A and B are shown apart, each in its own frame.
Chain A
């Protein structure tokens, strides 16, 4: 992975407090001493290459709708089948296999608590396994984005 100093700067320094001004890319360009078109081209390139998913929002959990983390204990031979059933639900966003007795972990987002409970019940019915519901109780993290040591050598 060969990233230029400019690309690293755009990746690390604009994860939060992206300029809320009419011409944000121009504002960034001025800081970096390049043109607005160059900033736009760099972002397009980072996006095409898959280094960034978007310039977007991270919303405080449970302010729009409700979400929860769910864990399930699935026998290995059935894991893929169960994961596929779970992926069919539009309420599921992340769905990961993890190295643990509880080997399937996913996040559910729904409009309201009754809707969320309905999804949990449907999942249990359709998979035959009991979901462990682990809703967020407190959030201790102040999101400052993700600072990466993007040295090519490390």
Chain B
């Protein structure tokens, strides 16, 4: 479990690293931490794997990558880990997860996300993926996004104001 000080640091970073000469010192001010403390904690959390990455978070859509599709496959359980790792190698893939099947409702267990500049590009990339990973014998489905109702980065530490009724 994450300790409260680290959680505070992550929450303080949610709106981004300040664009000032010494951003880690600036970040530390509000938390009562020194610049060195902040840097060391972030390094540690990265090594631990809790922080998957620290860096520029781009807006795909604005950069011309307007099409995004979730592609789901039904892969036998014994092969899913190997296939997931293989799929993850392709540069147009930017998420790849195993999720549960649901009896009669949902038969797909491997989920990945393909971003492209347009629909054709996404479909071409999917074709490449299917050919190169020998996926043609498995059931799959492609779910293009049509409309975004809500999008924001994960907001941690805000769930206390739950809207539960």
Interface on A for B, CB 8 Å cutoff? 1, 10-11, 14-18, 20-26, 36, 40, 43-44, 47, 49-60, 63-65, 67, 69, 71, 83-84, 86-100, 102, 105-106, 109-111, 115, 118-119, 122, 126, 132, 134-148, 150, 154
Contacts and interface: CB of A to CB of B under 8 A. Distances in A.
B52 A56 contact: no
B156 A95 contact: no
B163 A88 contact: yes
B13 A57 contact: yes
Nearest to A146: B94
Contact of B58 (A15, A86, A154): A15
Contact of A15 (B20, B23, B53): B53
Contacts of B145: 96-98
Given A60-B49, A146-B60, A141 B97 contact: yes
Interface in B73-123: 80-81, 84-85, 87-88, 91, 93-100, 102, 105-106, 111-112, 115, 117
Interface residues of B, number: 81
A97 B153 contact: no
A23 B54 CA distance: 15
6 contacts: A22-B35, A51-B63, A57-B13, A88-B163, A91-B163, A98-B146
Contacts of B80: 138
